[in-house]
Amino acid sequence: MAQFRAKKLDLGCFINIKVIRDHTKRKVFEQHEPERQALRYIIRNTSLPQRTRAQAQLQLTQMHCYTRPTQIRNRCIMGGRGRGVLRDFRMARFQFRMNALAGKLPGVQKASW
Amino acid sequence: MAVPRSRILDLMKVQSRIFSTIYNPTNLRLGNKILRQRLKGPSLAAYYPRRVATFKDLKALYPGYEMYDAFEEDRLEHIQIAKSRGKGAPKKKKVADTSSKKKRR
């Protein structure tokens, strides 16, 4: 959502709207994580009154979807792809191949035996 | 050899005090596992590489100096070649022209 987006872009990788959106979600989640964890604690704590816990449940479900960690998806930093992204290199499989063959990824070698 | 329960509870109390955990002999669900979790926001937010200083920033910092921006020069050269072959971008229309056209429609 546009209300969360930073006024000035602070990304140094490949940029398209999906990458910007994902980046925004990450930052929003980081901001709201303590609040979410507090609500989760209240919900899980069976020694608290039922009413409080139900209220906390409601509050947690009514938080914006951008504050949810499940909204975050790892995307390729070279091409913005959302599928086939290698977590260690943050790159999709083809970008990884091109960069690895070009020798831009230290320690990566083509298998040969 | 049976140890009385009160002794074990005492032991548990001391244990929880030393390791600063919650004393919970009846195994109630107090949700402390949520509080024990690390916050993973910072590591998630650091996924994409951030913008570092660009050539534009450098130019803005040192306005008086002459600098060579290879990418920009390449781009300008490419445009020059395209224009010489007659393949350049069309010229922009005058603002007054477009408004008069709209009126006619």
Phi-psi region of B11 (alpha: psi -120 to 50; beta: other; left: phi over 0): alpha
CB of B21 closer than 8 Å to CB of A9: no
Closest Cβ opposite residue A30 in set B28, B34, B44: B44
**Alpha carbon distance B12, B8 (integer Å):** 6
On whether residue B70 sits in a domain, the answer given is yes
Chain B residues within 8 A of A77 when measuring between CB atoms: 48-49
CB-based contact B29 A45, cutoff 8 Å: yes
pLDDT tens digits, A35-56? 999 999 999 999 999 999 999 9
Nearest-CA distance A111 → chain B (Å): 28
Q: Closest partner residue to B44 among A40, A47, A72, by Cβ?
A: A72
pLDDT at B72 exceeding the cut of 70: yes
Counting runs of H as helices and runs of E as strands, what totals does chain B give?
6, 0
- Chosen for mutation from A8, A31, A47 (greatest number of chain B CBs closer than 10 Å) is A47
pTM of the model: 0.76
Task: Note the pLDDT tens digit of each residue in B25-68.
Answer: 888 888 889 999 999 999 999 999 988 888 888 888 888 888 88
Contact criterion met (CB below 8 Å) for A42 and B31: yes
From residue A56, how far is each of A36, A48, A49 by CA, in Å?
10, 11, 11
Closest CA to A73 of B47, B41, B39, B50: B47
Instruction: Name the CA radius of gyration of chain B, rounded.
Output: 36
- What domains can you pick out in chain A, each with its CATH number? 15-73 (1.10.287.1480), 74-105 (no CATH)
Per-residue buried b or exposed e for B2-26, using 16+ beta carbons within 10 Å of the residue's own CB: eeeeeeeeeeeeeeeeeeeeeeeee
Distance CA A38, CA A60 (A): 10
Reported as type and span, the H/E element at residue A5 is none
**Number of domains composing chain B:** 1
Q: What is the pLDDT of residues B92-102, one digit of tens each?
A: 888 765 555 55
Please answer yes or no on whether B48 and A37 come within 8 Å at the CB atom: no
Listed residue (B29, B35, B45) closest to A38, CA to CA: B35
Distance CA A110, CA A94 (A): 14
Domain assignment of residue B8, yes or no:
no
How far from A81 is each of A45, A96, B59, CA to CA, in Å?
A: 40, 12, 33
Tokens of B73: 């020069």
In chain A, beta strands by DSSP E: 85-86, 91-92
Q: Looking at the domain assignment, is residue B93 inside a domain?
A: no
Could you tell me if residue B105 is inside a domain? no
Cross-chain CB nearest to A19 (options B28, B37, B48) = B48
Residue B42 within any structural domain of the chain: no
Task: Find the CB nearest A77 among B29, B30, B48.
Answer: B48
CA distance B99 to chain A (A): 33
Q: Which structural domain, as residue segments, surrounds residue B82? A: 52-88
Task: Give A3-24 pLDDT, tens digit per residue.
Answer: 888 888 888 889 999 999 999 9
Residue B40 lies in a domain: no
